[in-house]
Structure 1
Amino acid sequence: MHFSTLSVSLGLFSATGWAAYVLEDDYFSGNFFDKFDFFVDEDPTHGFVDYQSQKAAADAGLINTTSSGAYMGVDHTNECPNGRPSVRISSNKSYNTGLVVIDLAHMPGSICGAWPAFWMLGPEWPNGGEIDIIEGVNDQVGNKATLHTGPGCSIDKSGDYSGTLKYTTCASGGDNNNGCQIAEDSDISYGTNFNNNGGGTYATEWTADYISVWFWPRGSCPEDVLGDSPSPSSWGTPFAKFQGDCNFGTSFKDQSLIFDTTFCGDWAGNAWANSTCASKADTCEVYVQDTPAAFTEAYWAINALKVYSANGESSPPISTYIETFTSIQYVTQPESSYVAQPTIQTAYPSTLAISTKYAGYVPVPESSSPVETSSPSETGTSYVPVVGSDGSVGYGSDTAASPPSDTGGGGGGGGGWFSNSNGVVDYNGGHGHGSRDLEAETRDRHARHLRAHKRHGKARL
């Protein structure tokens, strides 16, 4: 059971009709889900997930809209040998600079096996850019904002922000897929703690000179944040401000908004063996398959989602976000004080037919020693998925440990991932096989991942 005290605001335009930001799109001005495309292909991050079409998700009760919000969940009733049914949606409209504000009553909790994200993605990853606003895996506590770009983009420490700098090189691909990252230090910024505190609001400002991300716990956001003409300059210090040797107007382009909840795969699955989650099951996939009740809290409850453009002339507001304080109980779908155009509620069945195909994954261990702020093994304590130049997939931890003494020759034992002192990640295959020798057996899988990167637009890490 979850309760949410909703603090929202009404903003007014100036008499001239001009403001720093003006409302471009209110995603609750009509049917929320009609503004998104539902991704139904195989998960390019190799997650143990079965993405559903809009109709299938509605029929199974995985999505719902009311006059007070939108709900996106996962199957938490059935054992799922073919991957747990879930939803991944991408906005039909894309954007070039602007301000994105989202009020969440609930996000997927800090659940072993889960990998949820709210993010933005451009075409031809990484050259079109990627902005990870909310993302985490397993029992993660705080949120981390991350950027991925093509060559020639990095950040420095000069920005005014309250979070902790983790990585400075935004350019991704090949042996370094960390991206640049700043962590929100608040332990109520993500997952279960976020939900227990009643949710909150995230705002992301994207200009040619910087990208900033703010987080406000429930009841603490400025009055104009979800109004018709918000003014970020009055909001105080963001937890993340990405600034430095980068043109953020050209390194990020045609960005779509994406929500998804996947399971295991290249990050949550590979981090399993060396996490506290390993005590629950031998592998991430076994746990996700056999423990449906664990994912009851793996849902998004969205009160508001708005996109603003800079320095435009105002137009009549589509909807009004009104100051109010209400306690809401969540049972099967979210409630909030957000007022949108009414929609017709539909009764959904609670069961879903599941196929029987099951595929296992091998967890990849992490390193846990501290590092300095330099690229690519720059700072921080998070797991970061990485892709080798040959297409092999692993993950980089916070450290850049030296490679093992036997990196390919001889007839040694089993293999494993390692990162050298320069942060380059590779695979010690054992039995005389390095990662270059693994290409034949993994070519199709990894080529799909790098080509599409479709949790990057149709794919993603």
Structure 2
Amino acid sequence: MYMYIILLLSLLIYPISLARPGVRLPYNPDRRLLPLQPHSSDSNRSVKREEDLSRRMYSQEELRSWSSGEREKRQMRWEQQIAYEGKTFFDGWESFTQPDPTLGLVTYVDNSTAFKKGLAFWTGDGKPGIQVDHFSTTPVNTPRDSVRITTKSMFAGGLFIIDMALMPWGCGVWPAFWTLGYQAEWPTAGEIDIVEGIQAMTNNHTLPGCEINQAPGMYTGQLGNTNCDSTTGGSGCTIGSDSQSSFGMPFNEAGGGVFAMLWNDNGVRMWDWNRAQIPSDIKSNSPTPDQWGTPRAAWDASTCDPYKFFQAQVLVLNIDLCGVWAGALYETFDYCPGTCAEYISDPKNLNNTVMLLNYIKVFQQTGTSPIPEQAHDNSNLTGAGGDAPLNASEVNASVRQSQSSSAVIPNSSEGSSSGLRGIRIPSWWSGLILGVIMILTI
């Protein structure tokens, strides 16, 4: 009898994994969205969520149904929902450690490795930063350690502001601040590239049906591709900033600056300012986008439904090297010598691969309830960036293989079927059931 009890316990401790033969998912099929835990109310803690439990909270769906008159009647303001800054900046982020989906010459490391190697750090005055390894000489075509981090919190609309003190730049260097849909594979839930560069380009990646409205006067930036569909190619729709100092060395020489993205029922709009031009309402933490004038870029709701094509998003920061955008266009820049792989193998060429951040803040309109879920892992958050083709990585290839085999992609409300279609059986239950059956049959 003791032998059967031991057998049963061992089955419980060592779960049996159910998997559909021939299907390789690029993420954990038992992925869950964890309940969102409120951040500490300690005023010294930078990453905090503003809450007032005494007032009625409205879902973002409710807010979208209100008329402009009703919004004015209720005195809707932009209030800070969450802030990432200072010594607690990294508390709200997870490290992405999968192979680079855009085939760059980088290895994204975990949190502890990043801090141990100085790739994630704070300056002496408490400013957070990330950087690429530019301390060691590496053989040509050898990836360098770098950082890609993703927020635990998700956002479906809002006002997003990033204040950057220093931006990476240089031949083959590819930094980005962007958002990516969490609850479905890329590009199903959308991607919004706020600042990304080997050039100051702003990209959106979506399913078919989203395009840029080309009516005059909607934005000041330079129009690129107008079709946002990234299901057959990854270029998405692009608008480049018309500012000569919104990226790279000119941006740093101007003291850095601020980028803002407004995502509401009117669509998606973006602005950027150098340090001396930052609006006073942003400095006072009371942003008023209606007073910022014509945006640099705009994706109007009339030609791109902002809630159909962009579902709940996480924020992403990363620094890439070479890859399918920076590497592919490397030779088009006359001042970049040799090949991208050769150039980045010498650490002396990578002195400008540091990103310093004053803060990243997310604002919501008065009374808006935050998404009550938290991103648990980011192993399926591939994304594209630049003009990466959809099939540029084995990760995306395996996604299509999974979909063609009728694999159920899990999300926050529906479980996936791992071997039993439409039914989720937790692996510890499978062990218990098998153990009981064995005992009863002996």
The one-letter code sitting in structure 1 at the alignment partner of 2:191 is: E
1:30 Cα offset (Å): 6.0
Structure-to-structure mapping, 1:75-86, within 5 angstroms: 75-81=133-139, 82-86=142-146
Aligned to 1:112: 171
Using the TM superposition, name which of 244-253 and 28-37 deviates more: 28-37
Aligned to 1:94: 154
The one-letter code sitting in structure 1 at the alignment partner of 2:340 is: C
Q: Pick one of 387, 398, 404 that aligns with 2:389.
A: 387
- 1:253 matched to 2:314: no
- 1:195 matched to 2:252: yes
1:160 Cα offset (Å): 2.0
Aligned to 1:447: 397
Aligned to 1:284: 340
Measure, in 2, the Cα distance between the counterparts of 1:449 and 1:194. Answer: 38
Measure, in 1, the Cα distance between the counterparts of 2:109 and 2:177. Answer: 18
For residues 175-196 of structure 1, give each alpha carbon's deviation from its aligned partner in whole angstroms, at most 9, with x where no partner exists. x322111111111000111011
Aligned to 2:188: 127
Structure-to-structure mapping, 1:176-191, within 5 angstroms: 176-191=233-248
Q: Pick one of 263, 267, 282 that aligns with 2:321.
A: 263
1:156 Cα offset (Å): 1.4
% identical equivalent positions: 36
1:24 Cα offset (Å): 0.2
The one-letter code sitting in structure 1 at the alignment partner of 2:95 is: F
Measure, in 2, the Cα distance between the counterparts of 1:62 and 1:191. Answer: 19
Measure, in 1, the Cα distance between the counterparts of 2:400 and 2:387. Answer: 12
1:134 Cα offset (Å): 0.6
Residues 451 and 129 (structure 1), Cα distance of their counterparts in 2 relative to 1, 3 Å cut: farther
For residues 59-102 of structure 1, give each alpha carbon's deviation from its aligned partner in whole angstroms, at most 9, with x where no partner exists. 11111135542111111110134311111101111100000001
Residues 119 and 445 (structure 1), Cα distance of their counterparts in 2 relative to 1, 3 Å cut: closer
Aligned to 1:54: 111
Indicate the SS of the match to 1:219. Answer: helix
Indicate the SS of the match to 2:161. Answer: strand
Indicate the SS of the match to 1:72. Answer: strand
Measure, in 1, the Cα distance between the counterparts of 2:180 and 2:395. Answer: 21
Residues 94 and 288 (structure 1), Cα distance of their counterparts in 2 relative to 1, 3 Å cut: same
Measure, in 1, the Cα distance between the counterparts of 2:87 and 2:367. Answer: 23
Measure, in 2, the Cα distance between the counterparts of 1:184 and 1:52. Answer: 31
1:227 Cα offset (Å): 3.8
The one-letter code sitting in structure 1 at the alignment partner of 2:163 is: D
Aligned to 1:8: none
Structure 2 unaligned spans of 5+:
1-72, 371-384, 403-442
Aligned to 1:73: 131
* TM-score (norm. length: structure 2): 0.65
Q: Pick one of 255, 270, 295 that aligns with 2:350.
A: 295
Asked if the contact 1:44–1:449 (Cα under 8 Å) also holds between the matched residues in 2, the reply is no
Structure 1 unaligned spans of 5+:
1-15, 316-382, 394-442, 453-461
Aligned to 2:102: 45
1:214 Cα offset (Å): 0.5
Aligned to 1:215: 272
Asked if the contact 1:43–1:49 (Cα under 8 Å) also holds between the matched residues in 2, the reply is yes
* TM-score (norm. length: structure 1): 0.63
- 1:136 matched to 2:197: yes
Asked if the contact 2:212–2:298 (Cα under 8 Å) also holds between the matched residues in 1, the reply is no
Using the TM superposition, name which of 82-91 and 17-26 deviates more: 17-26
Aligned to 1:26: 83
Asked if the contact 2:205–2:228 (Cα under 8 Å) also holds between the matched residues in 1, the reply is yes
1:259 Cα offset (Å): 0.6
Asked if the contact 1:17–1:313 (Cα under 8 Å) also holds between the matched residues in 2, the reply is no
Measure, in 2, the Cα distance between the counterparts of 1:385 and 1:451. Answer: 22
1:216 Cα offset (Å): 0.7
How many pairs align? 309
Asked if the contact 1:208–1:250 (Cα under 8 Å) also holds between the matched residues in 2, the reply is no
RMSD: 2.6
Residues 263 and 451 (structure 1), Cα distance of their counterparts in 2 relative to 1, 3 Å cut: farther
Aligned to 2:59: none
Q: Which has the larger radius of gyration?
A: 2
- 1:238 matched to 2:295: yes
1:444 Cα offset (Å): 4.3
1:308 Cα offset (Å): 0.6
Measure, in 1, the Cα distance between the counterparts of 2:400 and 2:282. Answer: 37
Residues 70 and 448 (structure 1), Cα distance of their counterparts in 2 relative to 1, 3 Å cut: farther
1:226 Cα offset (Å): 4.6
Aligned to 1:396: none
Residues 313 and 448 (structure 1), Cα distance of their counterparts in 2 relative to 1, 3 Å cut: closer
- 1:164 matched to 2:247: no
1:306 Cα offset (Å): 0.4
Residues 277 and 49 (structure 1), Cα distance of their counterparts in 2 relative to 1, 3 Å cut: farther
Measure, in 1, the Cα distance between the counterparts of 2:120 and 2:386. Answer: 29
The one-letter code sitting in structure 2 at the alignment partner of 1:307 is: V
Greater per-residue strand proportion = 1
Indicate the SS of the match to 1:128. Answer: coil
Higher RCO by CA contacts (8 Å cutoff, separation 6 or greater): 2
Residues 121 and 445 (structure 1), Cα distance of their counterparts in 2 relative to 1, 3 Å cut: closer
The one-letter code sitting in structure 1 at the alignment partner of 2:389 is: V
Measure, in 1, the Cα distance between the counterparts of 2:152 and 2:132. Answer: 22
Residues 61 and 450 (structure 1), Cα distance of their counterparts in 2 relative to 1, 3 Å cut: farther
Indicate the SS of the match to 1:193. Answer: helix
